Structure 1
Amino acid sequence: MSLPKIEELKELSHEDIEKRITELKKDLFDIRFKQATKQSIKPHIFKHKKHELAQLLMLENNYTMNK
């Protein structure tokens, strides 16, 4: 599984970006919760979700700056 590409995310609408940010934040919370309760997790998924979240937050920031 490779890291998400920003070109794919640039095609999303502002509403879709906001929805995806919310989903990723929930996913990251769940992963942290599993990690804290010693459940098995795949560390690379944590990295990929953080990377995608950073990209989406950057796109959202650019969208609000250009508005």
Structure 2
Amino acid sequence: MKASELRKKQLHELNSELVALLKAHFGLRMQLATQQLSNTKQLKLIKKDIARVKTVITQKLSNHDK
């Protein structure tokens, strides 16, 4: 997921995307804990996507205040 794609979305879409990513991250963490996760790189990618979404949300909120 690219930041340019995220910037085109509305805040409510970004919030729903964030919730979905957090649920996916939780599921991956549970798979890791039960030793069912074969591709551990997925965790790193999901965490980066979560950070991207949070960054874009913060940018949109700060631009909205101006």
TM-score with structure 1 length normalisation? Answer: 0.84
Residue correspondences, number: 64
**In angstroms, what is the RMSD of aligned CA positions?**
1.2
- Letter of the 2:51 partner, please give it: A
What's the CA shift for 1:49?
1.2
The residue aligned with 2:23 is 26
Q: Structure 1: any 5+ residue segments left out of the alignment? A: none
Q: Structure 2: any 5+ residue segments left out of the alignment? A: none
User: Secondary structure in 1 aligned to 2:45?
Assistant: helix
Q: Which moved more, 1:39-48 or 1:56-65?
A: 39-48
Percent same amino acid among aligned pairs?
22
- Cα distance in structure 2, aligned partners of 1:47 and 1:26: 14
Divergent runs of 4+, >4 A = none
- Cα distance in structure 1, aligned partners of 2:8 and 2:38: 30
